Amino acid sequence: MPLRLDIRTRQFAERFAQVVAGRREPAANVEKVVAGVVDDVRQRGDAALIKYTRKFDKVELTPDRLRFSAREIDLAIADCDKNVVDALEMAARRIGSFHRRQLPQDLDYTDDVGIRLGYRWTPVSAAGLYVPGGTAAYPSSALMNALPAKIAGVERLVMVVPTPEGRVNPLVLAAARIAGVDEVYRIGGAQAIAALAYGTATIRPVDKIVGPGNAYVAAAKRRVFGIVGIDSIAGPSEVLIVADGSADADWIAVDLLAQAEHDAAAQSILITDDAAYADAVCAAVDRHLPTLPRRDIARRSWEDHGVVIIVEDLKADAPALIDRLAPEHLQLALEDPAEFADSVRHAGAVFLGRLVPEALGDYVAGPNHVLPTDRTARFSSGLGVIDFMKRTTFMGCGAGGLAAIGPAAVTLAEAEGLDAHARSVALRLNRRRTG
């Protein structure tokens, strides 16, 4: 059974703090393994990639087989259900429309003393996109990772996707084609992250790596950060649903299970002010669980990490709890979700109303489903166009502008004991005075 907490009990604060501090990653120490894999790929390139793909994915490759050919992608797409491809194309249009509105504007102005100031945005040159392909393969993740990069203007998009025992979901390749990915490689795990970061004879390095993966992928991204940029260190997925008792219990139960079926380490949390309603939702979970193809995964997630929280007053009690949890997904199954949402500071994505399940955002709503997990929504955001861009500032001035601000620069440089700094400005000021 999931953990059940009641805000009216004396133990609530302590038990809730344990939920907030809880970690759901596997206990295995992966750092040592990942360090060896990353260093090996860095030193031996393709040979190491081939070795680890044989070991972990049970696939025998050669350098010329690392990359999917255009013909292989064509054949895979031909095997796809046309209705599903049509749905992917519709999703891509909506995701693209939303993300195009995120393009930032450059700034260029002259201030009141004649100094020209501003910045310009430019995309990274190459981005690496990690798409899971193990326990479940997600063509939707291919769209969510690739389309913001494409819209940002990234010239080269490189996707890596593991193919355990040689199997690949053809829809992942279809999504890559729809999103405009330039290169797709049949590799995964820490070795794929290392190849993207350092390059091999076959795979040129990229500037930034994005996309979720397992604990080994997360550890590899952490290890190569600084050589390349990364989006985040993603943990297991999570949803927090706030329901006032008016929402259909079956709807909410399935919404909780939709998160639980991702991974045994995923977490589903319900906050409500109605204990009888909480009982009804839990009973509905028990009814629906046996009917799911991924029921074993969902059951472990719900029983090991599920939480049901009873509060006295949703508006008064729930926002503070939500902000401490800073959930990846916040679903508000309420009569007036917009007003409630205004009281919440920390959440990766918010789903407003009883008719907006989190699963809608996973596929076709438009906003990105690559979101901050493990309470990192306190300080970070979901993946977007700006993640594939960087800002370069500039300044320029004539004699009048230099005369207006230069003396203060000299004074501050001298105060810091940086004489060459002071002199580099002072020389120009003297030159202007002497003509």
**pLDDT for res 22:** 86
Assess if residue 424 is contained within a domain.
yes
Of 262-266, 313-317, 411-415, where does mean pLDDT reach its minimum? 262-266
pLDDT at 370: 94
On the 0-12 / 13-18 / 19+ scale of CB atoms within 10 A, 382 is buried
Q: Which 3 state secondary structure label does DSSP give 4? A: strand
Instruction: Give the model's pLDDT for residue 260.
Output: 96
Could you tell me how many helices (H) and strands (E) the chain has, helices first? 17, 14
The reply to whether 189 and 287 lie within a common domain is no
Task: Write down the pLDDT at residue 25.
Answer: 64
Is pTM beyond 0.85? Reply is yes
Q: What is the average pLDDT across 316-325?
A: 97
User: Could you confirm whether 329 is annotated as catalytic?
Assistant: yes
- Judge contact between 217 and 190, C-beta under 8 A: yes
Average pLDDT (42-54) is: 97
Per-residue pLDDT tens over the stretch 365-405: 999 999 999 999 999 999 999 999 999 999 999 999 999 99
Q: Are residues 159 and 76 both part of a single domain?
A: yes
Same domain as 305, residue 226 = no
Residues 178 and 243 in one domain: no
Give tens-digit pLDDT for 72-108. 999 999 999 999 999 999 999 999 999 999 999 999 9
What residues contact residue 37 under an 8 Å CB cut-off, 6+ apart? 48, 52, 189, 190, 191, 194, 216, 220
CATH code where residue 168 lies: 3.40.50.1980
State how far the Cα of 304 lies from the Cα of 153, in Å rounded to an integer: 43
Identify the pLDDT of residue 316: 96
Residues 312, 193, single domain; the answer is: no
Contact between 95 and 143 (Cβ < 8 Å): yes
What's the CA gap between 315 and 226, in Å, rounded?
43
Residue 23 lies in a domain: no
Instruction: Give me the pLDDT at residue 28, please.
Output: 62
146 and 39 in one domain? Answer: yes
Q: Is 153 exposed, middle or buried, given 0-12, 13-18 or 19+ CB atoms closer than 10 A?
A: middle
Does the pLDDT of residue 26 top 60, yes or no? no
Joined tokens for residue 1: 């059974």
pLDDT of the residue at 380: 95
Q: Do both 72 and 97 map to the same domain? A: yes
- Residue 111 located in a structural domain: yes
Angle between helices 189-198 and 46-57 (to 10 degrees): 160
Average pLDDT value for the chain: 95
Among 206, 232, 258, where does a domain finish?
A: 232
CB atoms closer than 10 angstroms to residue 429: 16
For residue 64, the tally of other CB atoms under 10 A from its CB is: 9
Of 167, 202, 232, the one marking the end of a domain is: 232
Q: Which domain holds residue 248?
A: 235-379
Is 3 a member of any domain? no
216 and 246 within one domain: no
Q: Which of 99, 262, 305, 329 is catalytic?
A: 329
Rounded-to-integer distance, Cα 149 and Cα 152, Å: 5
Domain membership flag for residue 25 = no
Domain membership of residue 211 (yes or no) is yes
CATH of the domain at 414: 1.20.5.1300
Quote the pLDDT of residue 435.
Answer: 43
Residue ending a domain, among 232, 260, 275, is 232
| Catalytic option among 183, 328, 346, 369 | 328
Number of domains in the chain: 3
**pLDDT at position 434, please?**
47
Condensed to tens digits (0 to 9), the pLDDT of residues 231-255 reads 988 888 999 999 999 999 999 999 9
Q: Is residue 7 part of a domain?
A: no
- Cα–Cα distance measured from residue 419 to residue 415, given in angstroms and rounded to the nearest whole number: 9
Residue 134 pLDDT exceeds 60: no
Q: Do 76 and 211 share a structural domain?
A: yes
Q: Are the CB atoms for 179 and 147 separated by under 8 Å? A: yes
pLDDT digits (tens, 9 = 90+) for 265-275: 999 999 999 99
Radius of gyration of the chain measured on its C-alpha atoms: 26
Examine the domain organization and report whether 341 and 418 are in the same domain: no
Concatenated DSSP letters for 280-329?
A: HHHHHHHHHGGG-TTHHHHHHHHHHH-EEEE-S-HHHHHHHHHHHH--SE
> Is residue 317 within 8 Å of residue 338, measured between CB atoms?
no
Q: Is 391 helix (H, G, I), strand (E, B) or coil?
A: strand
Distance between alpha carbon 179 and the CA centroid of its chain, in Å? 17
Query: Does one domain contain both 407 and 375?
Result: no
Element spanning 148, H or E: helix 139-152
Does the pLDDT at position 333 exceed 90?
Answer: yes
227 and 243 belong to one structural domain: no
Q: State the helix-helix crossing angle for 215-224 and 189-198, rounded to 10 degrees.
A: 20
Stretch 171-178: mean pLDDT: 96
Give domain status of residue 384, yes or no: no
